[in-house]
Amino acid sequence: MDPGELRNRLLIAANTWREATDEPLPKMPAGHPEEQLRGFELKLVDLLCSQATPETARQVADRTWDLVHDRPDDDEVKKRVSECHEALARLSARAGED
């Protein structure tokens, strides 16, 4: 992966993390930078999706989509975002039932 792309992805993920939680950025295990970033992004998607409420589901969907909108469909993080969006749609639908 191009170092500029890697840096941009890290900036987006780190800023999103900081906006979503008061937790410090997680420590990345030793390894290849692309694998480290993928692990961080997956953790971020899981965090955002787990914190979603019926009222915030749309906002979480937008934030997670911002991470992956330009990636190929077979990207691991994009697949996780798609799974998250399915759960968010169900959560959002419940809000409409109330």
pLDDT at 57: 92
Measured between alpha carbons, how far is 95 from 87 in angstroms, rounded to an integer? 13
Structural domain span for residue 53: 3-16+39-97
Q: What is the DSSP letter of 1?
A: -
Mean pLDDT of the 82-87 span: 95
**How do residues 30-63 score in pLDDT, each as one tens digit?**
999 999 999 999 999 999 999 999 999 999 999 9
Q: Is residue 77 part of a domain?
A: yes
* Termini Cα distance of the chain: 46
The tally of domains found in the chain comes to 1
Measured between alpha carbons, how far is 53 from 79 in angstroms, rounded to an integer? 21
Contact 12, 27 (CB under 8 A): no
pLDDT at 93: 82
Q: Is residue 26 part of a domain?
A: no
Which helix H or strand E contains 81, and what residues bound it?
A: helix 76-97
Phi, psi of 73 (to 5 degrees): -65, -25
pLDDT surpassing 70 at residue 68:
yes
